[in-house]
Structure 1
């Protein structure tokens, strides 16, 4: 029995880069999937199936515009996070506060600053790409995400039938497209930094506010405030996760062909 060759999407999902990126991007996987992974896979599939230059141009431009909007979001979010952390540093330290609280806030500040710098740098790179259709421009953009190599099959001795179809065979050459996972990581790094900055900020805030619950001084008024904070935190977090799931669940229904990778 001949083993069935995996499809393009199955081969991608079985790669170590896909598994590793899925683990790294777990806190913001939907955002990463919609704005980085699926558009890149759609571009690769267009190249692999030798679609027209116009289709490839539209998909690369769509991905580039989407990434620019993402970089703008990262810059705004990183600035707000950095300002929030700096404001928290002026609060009166709680006696008995765990050292992880300040450490998380310091980490948040560093991650936010580097998210702003990296998003600005990558936004500049994307903005310098000329929006002009052409094989040279497309080749440069493809080099940013994938490695395209022509496949040269072993040709048998020519026959009369082969001679009649020689011109037709030359019109279409198969290519091998390999995704550059290091570049996928590079283009999604700004949103990764700001996502982990949010996690660090919330962790530091939780440790600070909940200090009365673990400092060993007994239950008091500050403990009630800590409990109220935890209830609000859980309710807000659950609402965010639930709404984010359903928001991304039905996104781009009119462009399913753009994201088909199976």
Structure 2
């Protein structure tokens, strides 16, 4: 056993990198699955802005602008969450009250009550998140005159770390997106419960009746809406990818243009020997006139002084 332990090779950097890559991949897959109902909202209003705020640590101007824009967008997001969650709460309560199928499947009620609690928590947490946003300076205060101490405090309120991201930072990131998450889950569970409830005659294999016809009509209309949602999601995803490629291409072209301008200016810049040769070829016209006796510098200066004195005397 001792010999086997001694002969066991230590993990190489390649193996560590490979395992780390798999961990990152699995984390991204889990994140995509859990944020699928509200992926665009999560990316635009939480993940991307906070990542940009974290990256703009050394640039004060960019950091202030990012915080100002993010606060405005987050307020709008929370307001939309409150409206959508309130509407979902009303729809769930109304659906529970008018359910007429005798002894429905327990899963439908479980999904509806889950939708109800998600909506309630979405409204409550959105109010709490707004209270945290109120600790950030107003839009008029987020400018170049903001003190460095206040800017650091604002950054800690958003990111919840001083030097390096820790557990508190990721908990705060989860809190920033929690209202949108619960609102999205509320609608998903509501529609799932409604589908289970309407399709109860098929699930229980009851005798053919009007409930089967209602379920078929519901599935047709619901399938059209669901397919439209999937197509729109695919188009949104494709548009994001094209936008990202366009931004990267524009950035590369801009860098190439700047490099070309620098190279062109360097190539057009004359050498020191050329400058000395040109300066030696330039002849001062004053020296030519002095050498020919046509111009006297001392006389001109005396005349200027006399005329200046006469003008100053006229002013008094």
Q: TM-score, normalised by structure 2?
A: 0.62
Larger mean CA deviation between 134-143 and 74-83 belongs to 134-143
Provide the C-alpha distance between the structure 1 equivalents of 2:102 and 2:204, rounded to a whole number of angstroms. Answer: 8
Secondary structure of the residue that 1:147 maps to in structure 2? Answer: coil
Provide the C-alpha distance between the structure 2 equivalents of 1:236 and 1:120, rounded to a whole number of angstroms. Answer: 32
Per the TM alignment, residue 42 of structure 1 is displaced from its structure 2 partner at its CA by 1.0
Provide the C-alpha distance between the structure 1 equivalents of 2:27 and 2:68, rounded to a whole number of angstroms. Answer: 25
Contact preservation (8 Å) 2:137, 2:154: no
Provide the C-alpha distance between the structure 2 equivalents of 1:244 and 1:121, rounded to a whole number of angstroms. Answer: 30
Structure 2 equivalent of residue 24 of structure 1? 34
Structure 1 equivalent of residue 300 of structure 2? none
Which among 151, 166, 186 is matched to residue 197 of structure 1? 186
Provide the C-alpha distance between the structure 2 equivalents of 1:200 and 1:177, rounded to a whole number of angstroms. Answer: 33
Structure 2 equivalent of residue 139 of structure 1? 152
Taking only aligned residues, the RMSD between alpha carbons, in angstroms, comes to 3.1
Provide the C-alpha distance between the structure 1 equivalents of 2:99 and 2:180, rounded to a whole number of angstroms. Answer: 31
Structure 2 equivalent of residue 236 of structure 1? 225
Structure 2 equivalent of residue 162 of structure 1? none
Secondary structure of the residue that 1:129 maps to in structure 2? Answer: coil
Provide the C-alpha distance between the structure 2 equivalents of 1:124 and 1:177, rounded to a whole number of angstroms. Answer: 23
Structure 2 equivalent of residue 105 of structure 1? 112
- Deviation string for 1:17-75 (max 9, x for gaps)? 7665444323222221111101111111111xx22x11110001111111111100110
Per the TM alignment, residue 86 of structure 1 is displaced from its structure 2 partner at its CA by 1.0
Secondary structure of the residue that 1:109 maps to in structure 2? Answer: helix
Structure 2 equivalent of residue 33 of structure 1? 43
Secondary structure of the residue that 1:33 maps to in structure 2? Answer: helix
- Deviation string for 1:63-114 (max 9, x for gaps)? 1111111100110011000000111122143124210111111111111011
Structure 2 equivalent of residue 183 of structure 1? 172
Query: Between Structure 1 and Structure 2, how many residues are aligned?
Result: 223
Distance 1:14 1:27, change over 3 A: same
Structure 1 equivalent of residue 134 of structure 2? 127
Per the TM alignment, residue 134 of structure 1 is displaced from its structure 2 partner at its CA by 3.0
Structure whose CA Rg is larger: 2
Provide the C-alpha distance between the structure 2 equivalents of 1:33 and 1:94, rounded to a whole number of angstroms. Answer: 41
Contact preservation (8 Å) 2:81, 2:183: yes
Structure 1 equivalent of residue 80 of structure 2? 73
Provide the C-alpha distance between the structure 1 equivalents of 2:68 and 2:26, rounded to a whole number of angstroms. Answer: 28
Provide the C-alpha distance between the structure 2 equivalents of 1:68 and 1:135, rounded to a whole number of angstroms. Answer: 24
Secondary structure of the residue that 1:218 maps to in structure 2? Answer: coil
Provide the C-alpha distance between the structure 1 equivalents of 2:170 and 2:26, rounded to a whole number of angstroms. Answer: 9
Secondary structure of the residue that 2:189 maps to in structure 1? Answer: helix
Structure 2 residues not aligned, in runs of 5+: 1-12, 252-316
Q: TM-score, normalised by structure 1?
A: 0.74
Which among 195, 200, 203 is matched to residue 211 of structure 1? 200
Per the TM alignment, residue 137 of structure 1 is displaced from its structure 2 partner at its CA by 2.5
Structure 1 residues not aligned, in runs of 5+: 150-175
Q: Does 1:14 align with 2:29?
A: no
Provide the C-alpha distance between the structure 2 equivalents of 1:253 and 1:65, rounded to a whole number of angstroms. Answer: 23
Larger mean CA deviation between 230-239 and 124-133 belongs to 124-133
Per the TM alignment, residue 119 of structure 1 is displaced from its structure 2 partner at its CA by 0.4
